[in-house]
A and B are shown apart, each in its own frame.
Chain A
Amino acid sequence: MSENPESKKIDFNNLQEIILHGFQNAAKGFSGMIGEVMQVIDPSVKAISLKDIPMFLGSPENDAVGIYLRVEGDISGQIMLILPYDKAMEIVDLMFEQPFGTTTQLGQIERSALAEVGNLTGAFFLNAIAEMTGVSARPTPPAVMVDMVGAILDVIIATMGQVDRSAFNDKVLMFQSNFSIGNRETKANFWIIPDPGTLEKLSAAGN
């Protein structure tokens, strides 16, 4: 992304509204899946340097779960849902309707459940955007990564670095939101990283 956040081509208020609607719908999809109400907290648009991404979630060595999808179609980009390791296990407990603490490791079944979370939130997010703008896009099957935060985020960094070489030192636009589940606030980070050109298309379609 080399777009200047102040670029005249893009109506940012409009864009923010579209993305927020997407986040809220993603939360709705997630709520339906786990049978608990999930709310969107502090959705924000951030312009950050790719280099600073690994520091965004504390130490890049922290254990985490990343659920990653590519978006393809009229618009394209990356979706990454990042959960601290222990929170990911709580979400599995919620999905399997078992008490917190039951899940103690993330094997095949647990990872597959988390992949479904990615499928669903990604699809709900894109559906909401399609409804508002008529722009259609679909998510790829999700990849679930259980690893250090830095290693997980390398996927975004390497992909962005390839898509747009100038982006590395420049700011990239990132839409970020946390979610809360029931009365528990969880630090699920839902990030949307649009490919170059995508924001112009979305903004134009939303007007």
Chain B
Amino acid sequence: MANSIAIGLAEVKVSRSPDDVLVAFGLGSCLGIGMYDPILHMGGLLHAVLPINNDHKSEQSKYVDSGITMLLDLMIQAGAQKNRLIIKMAGGANMLNVSSLSSTFDIGNRNIDSAKLTFTKMGIKPKSEEVGGKIGRTVRLYVANGRYTIRMMGEQEREI
């Protein structure tokens, strides 16, 4: 039986239980970053809110850059190997469709930029991603097989 585990704002979770499905519901400008070790069948999902952690003290998983570092550390501590990790990401939409608002508050794009920069620094690269645009997404990571799916309003769930 699938056991759905909601990953809320600024949360991160790693699981090796094959029944677990890690879910980040309704991501707008937030990013849902998944890592999966296919040998150990271990998956982790991060629900990051803001692009850059400036003071390094506050909640690591709230920010894209420190959150990715934290997720990678958690995976490695649990036995995963960095060179085996399959990384996927989705989210980072610009929800505000009015020009006077979106230019000032385009956190979605800044989140995406921060993720890409962090991956480059770490020498890792997402295998697939579906980011940006103007639409919210629900993200699921199936721990049993590493299936990473997105679903948008009025659409079917699909793997990326």
- A148 engages B49 (CB within 8 Å): no
Option from A147, A159, A168 in Cβ contact (under 8 Å) with B62: A168
- A150 engages B28 (CB within 8 Å): yes
Q: Does A145 contact B (CB under 8 A)?
A: yes
- B98 engages A148 (CB within 8 Å): no
Within B111-160, the residues touching A (CB, 8 Å) are: 135-138, 153-154
| Number of inter-chain CB pairs below 8 Å | 109
Q: Does A181 contact B (CB under 8 A)?
A: no
- B101 engages A148 (CB within 8 Å): no
- A150 engages B136 (CB within 8 Å): yes
CA distance A144 to B95 in the complex (A): 9
- B100 engages A141 (CB within 8 Å): yes
Residue total for B at the interface (Cβ-Cβ under 8 A): 31
Q: Which residue of B lies closest to A146 (CB)?
A: B153
Q: Does A198 contact B (CB under 8 A)?
A: no
Within B46-99, the residues touching A (CB, 8 Å) are: 49-50, 55, 58-59, 62, 93, 95-98
> Which of A33-41, A53-61, A171-179 forms part of the interface with chain B?
A53-61
Chain A: interface residue count, which band?
Answer: 20 to 34
Q: Does A48 contact B (CB under 8 A)?
A: no
Within 8 Å CB of A150, what residues of B?
A: 25-28, 136, 138
For the complex formed, measure the closest distance between the CB of A33 and the CB atoms of chain B, giving whole angstroms.
Answer: 20
Within 8 Å CB of B10, what residues of A?
A: 51, 168
Within A76-130, the residues touching B (CB, 8 Å) are: none
Q: Which residue of B lies closest to A161 (CB)?
A: B50
CA distance A168 to B102 in the complex (A): 22
Within B21-57, the residues touching A (CB, 8 Å) are: 25-30, 49-50, 55
Given A149-B26, A152-B28: A162 in contact with B98 (beta carbons within 8 A): no
Q: A145-B95, A147-B135 are in contact. List 7 more A-B contacts (CB 8 A).
A: A140-B98, A141-B101, A146-B153, A150-B27, A150-B138, A155-B28, A168-B58
Binding site for A on B (CB under 8 A): 8-10, 25-30, 49-50, 55, 58-59, 62, 93, 95-98, 100-102, 105, 107, 135-138, 153-154
A sample of 9 cross-chain residue pairs with beta-carbon separation below 8 angstroms, ordered by A number, consists of: A147-B95, A151-B95, A151-B135, A154-B27, A154-B49, A155-B29, A157-B49, A158-B50, A162-B50
Q: Which 10 A-B pairs have the closest CB atoms?
A: A150-B26, A151-B136, A154-B28, A151-B28, A148-B26, A60-B26, A60-B25, A158-B107, A143-B98, A147-B136
